[in-house]
Amino acid sequence: MTKYSRAMARRSRRQGGVALVFVTVIFVILVGLVSLGVDYGKLRSVKAELRDTVDAAGRAAAGGLAVSPTEARTRAKAIAAASTVDGRALTLLDSDIEMGTWNASARQFTLLTGSNESLADAVHITGRLAASRSTDVKLMFLPVVGGRSSMDLTTDTICSRTAGSQDIVIVQDVSGSFSQEIAYARTGDLDLLDAVYAAGGTSSMGLVVFTGTAETVATLKSVGSNYSSLRSAISTVDVGGNAMPHTNSGTDIAAGMEAALSLFNAYSQTSPTRCMVIVSDGESTSSNKNAHPGLTDSELLDQARQDADTAWAANINVFVVFWDSANNSTSAANMASLVRGKGIFVYVTDPTKLSEAITNALKTTTMVK
């Protein structure tokens, strides 16, 4: 081999070594890029699953606020447990579900704790996938090239309860058994009026009171232009007061419902939603002084159910706010059987919570953040 040939061979070997190093480096970079792309794609997918689940839990929890903070947490946890995030159910702790109030103009959430949670009109939910909970997102390829083996992910949402445009008739029980709690119920009726008025829109409101018979306290009218007169009318509600139905009778919920139906029938719908809100502390009881004399307790309940069917046939949602210190499950079930459409059943065992229950029942859920 000539001197020139040997030089060319050495140069070829050096170039081959450089090329090998170059190819190796490029290969490592490509593997790293592919690893980053695959793991980044997984993180984006899991983040989307987490976001969807937390949003759904937030909406469910806000709906539960109409019943109680406990119900709000129960609903949020149930939605999370039924969802799949990174291949498994999401677990929400009580600390992940915060109750508070939402200031729409300032876009600010104010946390409420303890017994004040009953005043909440918004819920803040945080979904966490974290190593501290053994739920961190495991990465597949980055660890191979010396990257992280897992990542924590967090997302949150705030959902509030707001009073949208609605035509509402409150059917308020003023029977003798309600005498100790009527002030709380009256406050709730007024608070509901205030919430609807503050929301603006085309809402209207009316009020019927009942014992064994029923009286119309306020016909359906625009809240925006009749706020003061509606507030004055609601303020007159009392047990045995002037213009109130007599208390020496039974309790005929159907009488109140039928009076409310008459108000709806006489009024042209101005809002997209119509709602009847029954506020009572007990089931129907028979009396010959009732609006439906001669009907037994069970027949009065059946009549009320028929009236609820009539209401829903006219696209009137029926809500029930039931105050019951005895915690009677049978009575609760019977009252709940009057709910129709998008209405809900709210069970209150603490009379001081009546006002919040009435106000929250008619609010709708809105995702605000």
Last residue of a domain, one of 130, 161, 192: 161
Closest C-alpha to 316, from 273, 357, 359, 345 = 273
Domain assignment present for residue 2? The answer is: no
Whether 192 and 223 have beta carbons less than 8 Å apart is answered as: no
Tell me, yes or no, whether 354 and 232 share the same domain: yes
Domain assignment present for residue 260? The answer is: yes
Tell me, yes or no, whether 238 and 150 share the same domain: no
Q: Any idea what the CATH number is for the domain that residue 199 is in?
A: 3.40.50.410
Whether 312 and 337 have beta carbons less than 8 Å apart is answered as: no
Sheet of 316-323: strand order equals 214-222, 204-210, 167-173, 274-280, 316-323, 345-348
Q: What is the residue-level pLDDT of the chain in tens, covering all 369 positions? A: 565 555 555 555 555 555 555 555 554 554 554 555 566 778 889 899 999 999 999 989 988 887 788 989 999 999 999 999 999 999 999 999 999 988 877 889 999 999 888 888 899 999 999 999 999 988 875 555 556 788 899 999 999 877 777 899 999 999 998 888 899 999 999 988 988 888 777 889 999 999 999 999 999 999 999 999 999 999 999 998 888 999 889 899 999 999 999 999 999 888 888 999 999 988 889 999 999 999 999 999 999 999 999 999 999 999 999 988 776 888 999 999 999 998 989 888 888 878 878 877 777 767 777
Tell me, yes or no, whether 138 and 242 share the same domain: no
Tell me, yes or no, whether 147 and 171 share the same domain: no
Q: What residues make up the domain containing 94?
A: 20-161
Whether 56 and 79 have beta carbons less than 8 Å apart is answered as: yes
Cα torsion angle, 44, 50, 53, 59, sign: negative
Last residue of a domain, one of 135, 161, 187: 161
Last residue of a domain, one of 161, 186, 218: 161
Domain count, the chain: 2
Q: Collapse the DSSP code of 286 into the 3-class scheme (helix H, G, I; strand E, B; otherwise coil) and give the result.
A: coil
